[in-house]
Amino acid sequence: MTILNELLLVAILVTNIALSGNSRLKTCIDIVSIQGFALGLLPAVIGLETGMSVELVVIAIAGIVLRGIVFPHLLKKSIQNASASRELKPVVGYFLSTLIALALIAVSLWLSRRLQFLDPSLLLFSTVALATIFTGTFIIVGRRLAVMQIVGYILLENGIYCLGLAFVREIPLIVELGVLFDAIVAVFVMSVATNKIHEEFEHFDVAKLDSLKG
Amino acid sequence: MDTSGTLDLLLLGGFLAIPVVGVLAMLASTKPRHVLVINFAASLGAGILSLALAFRLSGRDVIRVADGFLRADHFSAWHLLLLTLAVFSPSSLFSFSYFKNDAAVTLGGMRRFGMLWQGSLASMSLALISGNIGIMWVAIEASTLFTAFLILREGNSASLEAMWRYIIMCSVGVAFAFIGTLLFAAAAQKAGLNGSDSLLLDKIYSVKDKLNPSLAMAGFVFILIGYGTKAGLAPMHNWLPDAHSQAPGPVSAMFSGFLLNTALYCIVRFMPIASGAQAEPGKPLKLLMFLGILSIALSSIFIFFQQDAKRMLAYCSVEHLGIIAFGYALGPAGAFAALFHTMNHSLAKTTGFFAAGTLGKKLGTNDFSAFAGAAKKYPLWGGGLALSLLALIGVAPFSVFMSEFLLVKAGIDTSAWLPTGIFLAATCVVFVRMLKHSIDIAWKPTALPASSPELVGAADEGKTRDGFAATFIIAAPLILLLVFGLWMPGFLFDFIQKAKEALWSIK
């Protein structure tokens, strides 16, 4: 594992913590963009170590463009007309959220050390992947605004992608691209839905969508 | 060999090509009605293709093309037949009568409906014919995205809420299934498969004894939770009653009739691999059994207190998916009953949703109290709903009774006493409750006051003839359910038997 690789992974960890404690929607989207760039570069850095291949280059470029540029752009568009620029009343407060994000990293490290099949050199990799998955899930549950739930979903996707890089080598290109394509369409569909929610209800606090019961 | 390979490729590739051609034709059409005609033609075309596939499989175990990325055996062919012929074709036929006289019918609206409909058909078919577990995941996620906007009815805020809940819960759930997929691939690579082979279903099955047991078990748990969310298994079923009740009639029928089964198909595909890797093969099955029984028990409580007809049918789907999962979890002994029950449920449930959707639209409410006596005013829809409710609760001689009977027999044979007991108790609760609804619809005096403007309009409409197509989609499934309950043709028995063998030994 090279220093470059570790730097990228640590950058992803830092973005996770920063996201959980931030209330400004625009800043959150910028942080998602930074994480997307770091994640997109990862396969290229792995390629530098183990030998570059066409597949790795394609995946790196697709990753950087989609996760670093397209996702944040879609999110920004969906909050353009919104009245709220920050989330004031999350389910879990921001200070507590930051603490939870830190605790989730500790849990991920503990869990990764317990995975017997894992190559010890991939410990950091797996920790970062699990921490991103957990943080994403936590944001989906802990925030009320639809946009932040999409952010949580993107984090979850990022984490799973990272886990794939750690656990499984040589996933066929068509599968990788299929997964990436699904992720982009999912984010697109969700942001269109967010716009519709905003038009219909004049807010996008999904906790207030509670007419269907029983 | 070469021409036969090309034929196989055309056959499996056709499941993706037909929807694409359908969408192109829709873009070229100029009338909303034409779009619906094309939509039905493409769905029926896929149905004919799955019949061709079933014939092609006679005398062979498996068809494999593109290095095993696409593969079809009897188990997938059985699901494809149900998907296209029992669910998509009748549902797209139903959309004619459902959208008739609807103000929302515009060329753009129908094009959007048709394109999403064909996209759902293509993605679900791909999930059933993919031999690669990564592609399988991509297809399931794609089907979530295609179906999400089908729930939406313009200007209806409740359907928007249902759609949001559906897309968030299912996307997150299905994301977890991808972790499971990765864990299986990692286990397969440790067992000696190289990169691209480690995602192929049949290759992983061939090394199942060498898989790391804890890794395979962890993978199965993620698959079960992930795809289980999409299959509507309790306790991940919260999105389901909302989405099913808010969607337009044909979409509800398609959701209940097969969207759930497609996800369950994916779970079940991993079952022989996960069991093969364990020292004690029953361990993964117990997990599936637990979720199945929990779904049956929980949904029976919700059905008991439910007053909304479409929501009740939705909970009924949770119950029946639980019953099918219970059957699969009994191992090879229960697989026949589970496969038979899949067909019975799809036939009965689509009919139920056709009838409930139309009645709901005509009466302006889905409340059961308004449905009382509906069979007198609308003999086709009211009678159809009453009969399909009877079929769903397993009144003899409908074939649901037969498959549930086989299931109980399998449960006793494998001495799964407690789950079988819970299953019987819960289905009895549902039986009593839904029998009451069915009797009310058929015989109870109408509840609506005579001066209600809806009723006046509805009464005029009731006199208009329902048309041959509408009669067909209500009567044909009910007749089939009756026939298969009394007599099972030999070819059907053989096909289900082969599907069961294909499930438990992947070739």
Domain spans of chain A? 3-208
Q: What pLDDT shows up at residue A199?
A: 79
Range of lowest pLDDT (A83-97, B7-21, B465-479): A83-97
CB contact under 8 A, B186 and A185: no
What is the distance, to the nearest Å, from the Cα of residue B260 to the centroid of all Cα atoms in its chain?
Answer: 5
Residue B460 clears pLDDT 80, i.e. is over it: no
Chain B nearest CA to A2, separation (Å): 23
Tokens representing B83 are: 């998907």
- Each residue of B202-213: pLDDT tens digit? 999 999 999 999
| Mean pLDDT on B149-167 | 88
SS3 B435: helix
Chain B nearest CA to A115, separation (Å): 9
Answer whether B175's CB lies under 8 Å from A160's CB.
Answer: yes
- Each residue of B323-348: pLDDT tens digit? 999 999 999 999 999 999 999 999 99
Which ranges of B232-331 does DSSP label H, i.e. alpha helix? 239-246, 249-254, 260-277, 283-305, 309-329
Evaluate the omega torsion of the peptide bond into residue A172 and state whether it is cis, within 30 degrees of 0. Answer: no
**CA B290/CA B292 separation, integer angstroms:** 5
Q: What pLDDT shows up at residue A92?
A: 86
CB contact under 8 A, A178 and B215: no
Residue B274 is part of which domain span? 2-504
The amino acid at B379: P
Closest CA to B161 of A148, A150, A206, A82: A206
ipTM given for this complex = 0.91
What is the distance, to the nearest Å, from the Cα of residue A56 to the centroid of all Cα atoms in its chain?
Answer: 20
Q: What pLDDT shows up at residue A108?
A: 93
Q: How confident is the model at residue B454 (pLDDT cuts 50, 70, 90)?
A: very low
Give per-10-residue mean pLDDT for chain A (214 aa): 85 93 91 94 84 82 92 88 75 90 94 80 89 94 89 93 82 81 89 84 78 73
Residue B119 clears pLDDT 90, i.e. is over it: yes
What is the CA angle B142-B147-B153, rounded to 5? 150
The amino acid at A107: V
Number of domains chain B is built from: 1
Answer whether A126's CB lies under 8 Å from A115's CB.
Answer: yes
Which of B141, B166, B240 has the highest number of chain A CBs within 10 A, making it the mutation to test binding with A? Answer: B141
Q: Which residues of B touch A189 (CB under 8 A)?
A: 145, 148-149, 167
Q: What pLDDT shows up at residue B432?
A: 94
The amino acid at B75: F
**CA B352/CA B309 separation, integer angstroms:** 10
Quickly count: other Cβ atoms within 10 Å of residue B369's Cβ: 11
| Mean pLDDT on B438-452 | 72
Instruction: Provide the 8-state DSSP code for B73.
Output: E
Spell out the residues 6+ positions from residue B10 whose beta carbon is closer than 8 angstroms to its own. none
**CA B227/CA B184 separation, integer angstroms:** 15
CB contact under 8 A, A193 and B162: no
Q: What pLDDT shows up at residue A55?
A: 81
Closest CA to B224 of B290, B169, B171, B164: B290
Q: How confident is the model at residue B448 (pLDDT cuts 50, 70, 90)?
A: low
| Mean pLDDT on B139-144 | 95
**CA B438/CA B392 separation, integer angstroms:** 11
Residue B275 clears pLDDT 60, i.e. is over it: yes
Spell out the residues 6+ positions from residue B307 whose beta carbon is closer than 8 angstroms to its own. B367, B368, B369
**CA A126/CA A112 separation, integer angstroms:** 6
| Mean pLDDT on B171-191 | 92
**CA A43/CA A169 separation, integer angstroms:** 11
Answer whether A15's CB lies under 8 Å from A68's CB.
Answer: no
- Each residue of B349-401: pLDDT tens digit? 999 999 999 999 888 888 988 888 888 888 899 999 999 999 999 998 899 99
Answer whether B403's CB lies under 8 Å from B409's CB.
Answer: no
Share of chain B above pLDDT 90, in %: 75
Residues found in chain B: 507
Chain A nearest CA to B177, separation (Å): 10
**CA B354/CA B97 separation, integer angstroms:** 10
Option in A163, A172, A190 nearest B182 (CB): A163
Q: Which residues of B touch A197 (CB under 8 A)?
A: 160, 164
- Each residue of B290-305: pLDDT tens digit? 999 999 999 999 999 9
Range B271-286 burial, b when 16+ CB lie within 10 A, else e: bbbbbbbbeeeebbbe
Residue B269 clears pLDDT 60, i.e. is over it: yes
Which of A116, A154, A179, A200 has the highest number of chain B CBs within 10 A, making it the mutation to test binding with B? Answer: A179
Q: What pLDDT shows up at residue A120?
A: 78
